[in-house]
Amino acid sequence: IFSCNRCKITSLSGNLFSSLTNLVELDLSYNLLTSVPIETFKNTPGLRKLSLAYNQLSIIPDYSFSEFTSLESLDLTNCSLINIETFAFASLNSLRVLHLGVNYLTSISGETINGLNNLTELTLYSNQWHCDCSIRSLREYMVIKNIPLSYSPYCSSPERLQGLSWSNLTLDEFA
């Protein structure tokens, strides 16, 4: 377990963790990171839990976590996220917990989490959800996979759904 919580790290480069081949948990929350440091984790195949919460990531590009094949828990809470690209979580076959709460997300494609077959916990609260067909596939995926909403997200738009909880909406209302 390695924690550098509030270390004021602005970037990670090279193989910073290359000697920590048995690293299982890494907490980089409350730093100043602006991107996912992909190259830094090439030699940490056993990483199971990663927290990047409270950084300034804004966008999660495609294949950002391709080196994390054993990752079971990923915390991206309060990262000022505005966009998660479709294949951002590709290769995270072991992921069970994904925290995306308290960001600026308006939509996520169901395809983005479709390959996360072991996902049992997904937090999405406190975002700016535009509850239309663009997130219907995400909500449908959650219903089919029986992923509970412990903290139900609310719709910010369209106006007819503004302020309504996802828990109180049918799939047909995401149209």
> By mean pLDDT, which of 36-40, 72-76, 150-154 is the weakest?
36-40
- In degrees rounded to 5, what are phi and psi of residue 161? -115, 0
Each residue's pLDDT tens digit, 54-101: 999 999 999 998 888 899 999 999 999 999 999 999 989 999 999 999
Quote the CA–CA distance of 155 and 153 in Å, as a whole number. 7
The DSSP call for residue 143 is: H
Each residue's pLDDT tens digit, 103-134: 999 999 889 998 899 999 999 999 999 999 98
Q: Tell me if 80 sits within 8 A of 103, measured CB to CB.
A: yes
pLDDT of residue 106: 97
pLDDT of residue 69: 86
pTM: 0.90
Q: Is the peptide bond preceding residue 37 cis, with omega within 30 degrees of 0?
A: no
- Whole-number CA gyration radius for the chain: 16
Above pLDDT 70, what percent of the chain? 88
Considering only CA atoms, which of 92, 97, 152, 146 is closest in space to residue 121? 97
- In degrees rounded to 5, what are phi and psi of residue 97? -125, 125
